[in-house]
Amino acid sequence: MSTLTATWRTRLAGVLAWAIALALFFPIAWAALTATEQDAYTPTLWFTPTLDSFREVLERAHYPSFLGNSLAVSVISTLLALAIAIPAGYAMAFFPNKRTQQVLLWMLSTKMMPAVGVLLPVYLLAKTAGLLDSITALVIVYTLANLPIAVWMVFTYCNDVPREILEAARMDGANLWQELVYVLLPTMLPGLASTALLLLILSWNEAFWSLNLTSIDAAPLTVFIASYSNPEGLFWAKLSAASVLAIAPILVLGWLAQRQLVRGLTFGAVK
C-alpha cells in the first residue's frame, strides 16, 4: 500500500465507482435516449433529440387512463394502509403488553407467504365478486400486502419519539387528543411521510397481482408496458417514451427517500 499514495487510491476508487455506476445506469439512460430519437430503428449516438414520442404517448387516448389507474391504486392503497397501520403502530409502541412482540413478528411472517400460494383463491374470489379488472381488487390486495410493512415502520418511528416530550405536554395539562395532534403528529410527520413514500413506490411497481388481476379497464402502467412485449421497430421510440414516463416519478421519489427506504425495506433492522 505504501507505493500508492492516498490521493491516488481515492482517485482510482472514484474512477472505478463511476464506471460501475454508469454501467448500471446505462439501460435506463439508453431507454431515455431511444425515447428522444426520431427513428429508433438504427440506434446512433448522433441524432437530433425530439420530444415527439413523449407527446404522442401522452396524447394517445389510453395512456393517461393507465397512468390514472396507477395513480389511483397506489394513492388509495397507501392511504388505506396508513389509516389501518397508524393506530396499530402507535398503540404497540406506546402501550405495549406481553403479546406485542409476538403480534409484530407474526405480522412480519405474513410477508413470507409467497403470493403465488394464494393466487388462485384471490383470483376466483375477485371473479365471483365481479371485481376482476377493477381498481377495488388491486387496492384491497395492495393494502393487505403492504400493511405489515406500514405497521412496522410506524411502530419503529413511534419508538424513536422521546417519551419526555409527551410527558412534558401531559404535565402542562394536555389531554390525549391535544397530545396526539400538537405533540406527536408534528414529531412523527417525517416518519409517516417516508412510510407513505415506500408504500407508494411498492404499489406503483407491483407487477404480480396487477398482471394477474387486471387486463384493460383497471390496468396500471405495469400491465400496459407488459402488453408491448414484442414491439415493432418504429414503435420503439414511443415504447421507450412510455417506459420512461412510467418510471420517472418513482425514480425521483426513490432518490429523495434513499435512507428512509432502507429502514422500511428492512423492517427497521438497518437504519
Lookup: cell for 180: 396526539
Report d(CA 3, CA 147) in Å as an integer.
55
Q: Which of 57, 67, 82, 88 binds other proteins (CB under 8 A)?
A: 88
Tell whether residue 231 is a contact of other proteins (CB under 8 A).
yes
Residue labelled with grid coordinates 394464494: 118
Q: Which of 63, 66, 157, 267 binds other proteins (CB under 8 A)?
A: 267
Tell whether residue 226 is a contact of other proteins (CB under 8 A).
yes
Min dist CB 62 to other proteins, Å, is 16
Q: Which of 3, 24, 61, 173 binds other proteins (CB under 8 A)?
A: 24
Concatenate the DSSP letters of all residues of 195-233 into one string: HHHHHHHHHHH--HHHHHH-SSTT--HHHHHHTTSS--G
Q: Among residue numbers 177 through 206, which ones bind other proteins (CB under 8 A)?
A: 201, 204-205
> How many chain residues touch other proteins (CB under 8 A)?
110
What is the phi/psi pair of residue 96, to 5°?
-70, 150
Neighbours of 88 (CB within 10 A): 18
Lookup: cell for 154: 410506524
Going 208 to 210 to 216 to 221, the CA torsion angle's sign is negative
Q: Among residue numbers 112 through 151, which ones bind other proteins (CB under 8 A)?
A: 112-125, 144, 147-148, 151
Tell whether residue 250 is a contact of other proteins (CB under 8 A).
yes
Q: What is the DSSP letter of 115?
A: G
Q: Which of 188, 199, 223, 237 binds other proteins (CB under 8 A)?
A: 223
Tell whether residue 36 is a contact of other proteins (CB under 8 A).
no
Report d(CA 220, CA 62) in Å as an integer.
11
Concatenate the DSSP letters of all residues of 142-194 into one string: HHHHHHHHHHHHHHHHHHHS-HHHHHHHHHTT--HHHIIIIIIHHHHHHHHHH
Tell whether residue 234 is a contact of other proteins (CB under 8 A).
no
Nearer CB in complex with other proteins: 120/189:
120
Span from 30-38, 55-63, 128-136, 190-198 in contact with other proteins (CB under 8 A): 30-38
Span from 109-117, 131-139, 180-188, 191-199 in contact with other proteins (CB under 8 A): 109-117
Tell whether residue 13 is a contact of other proteins (CB under 8 A).
yes
